[in-house]
Amino acid sequence: MKQLNTSRSLGMRTLAVHGGQQPDALTGAIATPITAASAFSYPDFDSGARRFSGEEPGYIYSRFANPTVAVFEQKLAALEGAETAVACASGMAAISATLFALLVPGDEIIHIGTLYGGTEGVVRNLLPRYGIKPVHVVNVNELEAAFTKNTKVVLVETPANPGLDIADLAEIARLSKAAGAVSVADNTFATPYLTRPLELGIDIVLHSATKYISGHGDATGGVVAGSAALITPIRTLSLKQFGGNLSPFEASLLIRGLKTLPLRVEASSLSAQAVAEFLDGHSAVDAVFYPGLKQHPGHATASKQMKLFGGIMAIELKGGLNAARTFLDKLSIITQAVSLGDTDSLACHPASTTHSAVAPEIRRQSGITDGMVRISIGIEDTEDLIADMQQALEGL
């Protein structure tokens, strides 16, 4: 069996290609085979009993574990520097399983800044049904004062969706540990190539793998990584009780996506920087929210905890809703769609799409206006993307 030389620290591109996988033992295939099996045989009665009790390793049922899915989990864990990871059917399955595994009635969860609309729904609407109290703070400066004896989890997205707010992960980790709370960071926008939250002291990192990890707009999944002590109960809840397991077919696509993650993220980040600088000087644009711009309030923190500044930005158009509609409808290379992190550049209107289910007053507090457009830069030529935006902005 091929073994990676771990006598020195491996680079992210090497880990993305080789981490967590081996050539197939049966055929020598380099690409991980898709194990399309719902159940797995065991040699005898006693072996089956030991596998179900956890006394003996081995696959038994694909809802619990699958060889293809396991490779994806191991590869993602290697990239995040985690002890282990659990794959889920979607990003929302990942966040839901994590929060319900960590929280019980009477607990409190502090959420910082803006969250993805689906996550906002779970935190603000679903958790309170089960006696779990959400506590919102605008930024890290308000975090320490928000802790109580009932605080068990601190949740943050950075960069945040859709306004690209930046939170200091090392400070969140420090304050959470001092209060005895588990810190959870959604790393979907940054990916492990740009930010490694666990190295900054965060306890659990999660992703909507549908986004940059897939990278090609053809797979849906989620993943949670951290220590075995924290991930094991999440795995049990997500797979055995919620039944939110990842398909081996989706896992195969996500493995493929991870192999090119560093290349894609670097290309989109470099292009996004140039696009943000162009938009920042345009007369029809009131504001550009991108941490790579020096005037962004989170620029200094992002410079400290990110390798590059990512491929996502948001803009505020001076003409409000009508300008946003006209701009989006005039784009020709950039596609209107609500996802992000694809090879294709995508753009959407958060107030009427990704965050439409969020209460209007919460949207206003989060800066999600009718004139905001979120843009995910893909891997197209930068000059072509700028030209597309330039023609779409004409006359606004």
Helix pair 248-259, 261-280: axis angle to 10 deg: 70
Rounded to 5 degrees, what angle do the CA atoms 206, 101, 126 make?
90
Query: What b/e string do you get for 309-330 counting C-beta neighbours within 10 Å, with b at 16 or more?
Result: bbbbbbbbbebeeebbbbbbeb
- 211 catalytic? Reply is yes
Q: Using an 8 Å Cβ cutoff, are 76 and 223 in contact?
A: yes
257 three-state secondary structure = helix
Q: Which burial class, exposed, middle or buried, applies to 282 when counting CB atoms under 10 A from its CB (0-12, 13-18, 19+)?
A: middle
Catalytic-residue membership of 218: no
DSSP readout, 76-94? HHHHHT-SEEEEESSHHHH
Catalytic annotation, pick one of 107, 116, 212, 290: 116
C-alpha angle with apex 263: 261 to 267, nearest 5 degrees?
115
Which of the following is catalytic: 211, 264, 363, 374? 211
Burial label for 50, CB within 10 Å (0-12, 13-18, 19+), is: middle
CA atoms lying within 13 Å on the CB side of residue 262: 14
> Catalytic one among 186, 342, 370, 388?
186
| Catalytic site includes residue 384 | no
Q: Is 374 a catalytic residue?
A: no
Instruction: Give the chain's length.
Output: 396
Q: Report CA torsion sign: 366, 350, 86, 256.
A: negative
Name the strand (E) or helix (H) holding 58.
none
From the candidates 24, 46, 63, 240, give the one annotated as an active-site residue.
63
Alpha helix locations (H) across 180-319?
191-194, 228-235, 248-259, 261-280, 299-305
What letter represents residue 298's amino acid?
G
Cite the active site residues.
63, 116, 186, 211
